[in-house]
């Protein structure tokens, strides 16, 4: 029966059931991923971010919140220019992490 409306999906991130395989795999080779302090420098300087919604800070969070599909879509925008790595105050090897996600 068409009621003209339907159940809207929950916007909650359900931490009990999210799949962290990719993030955990990443963590093994890049312990850096844990040290992000979400300052957003990477996003602000991003060459691709100048034209798109690319944000490494958010991308890391997506992986930690089970939004792997969104993360994979976002990472396609990256030009690997490495500016993010240069500005990261925690010295995270962002370019390596980005490459590792795509391989």
The CB-of-21 to another protein minimum distance in angstroms stands at 13
The CB-of-103 to another protein minimum distance in angstroms stands at 6
Residues that bind another protein (CB under 8 A): 1, 3-8, 10-16, 27, 31-32, 34-38, 45, 47-48, 50-52, 57-58, 61-62, 64-65, 72, 75-83, 86-87, 90-91, 93, 95-96, 99, 101-103
Closest residue by Cα to residue 67 from 58, 77, 55: 58
Residues 6+ apart with CB under 8 A from 101: 22, 26, 59, 63, 71, 72, 75
Nearer to another protein, 21 or 90 (CB): 90
Residues 6+ apart with CB under 8 A from 90: 32, 35, 36, 37
The CB-of-86 to another protein minimum distance in angstroms stands at 6
């Amino acid at each position: 029966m068409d009621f003209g409306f339907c159940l809207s999906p929950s916007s909650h991130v359900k931490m009990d059931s999210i799949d962290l395989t990719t993030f955990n795999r990443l963590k093994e080779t890049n312990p850096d991923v844990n040290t992000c302090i979400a300052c957003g420098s990477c996003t602000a300087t991003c060459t691709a971010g100048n034209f798109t919604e690319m944000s490494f800070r958010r991308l890391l969070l997506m992986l930690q919140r089970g939004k792997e599909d969104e993360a994979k879509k976002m990472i396609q925008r990256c030009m690997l220019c490495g500016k993010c790595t240069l500005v990261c105050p925690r010295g995270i090897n962002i370019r390596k992490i980005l490459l590792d996600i795509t391989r």
